[in-house]
Homo-oligomer: A and B are copies of this chain.
Amino acid sequence: MLPELLATFKDDQQLLPAIVQDANSKEVLMLAWVNKEALEKTATTKQATFWSRSRKEIWVKGKTSGNQQEVISIKFDCDSDAFLFLVHSHGPACHTGESSCFHSEITL
């Protein structure tokens, strides 16, 4: 299954969105981006791993902060162009200290 999914990336540079959701609370924690390498590393190490668009490098979530995300399950959507990582999070997902990056809301 993983090889087939990796083959759907157009090239090594293509970035696809990965939603990170807490496996227990179901809170959506963050959205980040994966290239082929990041997805493969996530699947093989079970540590959430992304491509940092600002630093332009592979980013193992929590490697410096200690707030790792242990990946329990990787789902993908019907177009195979978006991923959903279900994780056990060690510490807050957001650099602000909030549990989720989605802590701001538009008043409707």
Chain A contact-residue range equals 35 or more
Chain B: CB-nearest residue to A105: B75
Complex interface: chain B residues within 8 A of A31 (CB): 17, 19, 77, 82
Complex: how many Å from CA A105 to CA B85?
Answer: 10
Complex interface: chain B residues within 8 A of A105 (CB): 73-76
Known pairs A28-B84, A82-B31; A108 contacts B71 (CB<8 A) = yes
Complex interface: chain B residues within 8 A of A73 (CB): 105, 108
Interface residues of A (CB under 8 A from B): 1-2, 5, 17, 19, 21, 25-28, 30-31, 43, 46, 71-80, 82, 84, 94-96, 98, 101-108
Q: Top 7 closest A-B pairs, CB basis?
A: A26-B26, A77-B101, A31-B82, A75-B102, A74-B106, A84-B102, A78-B101
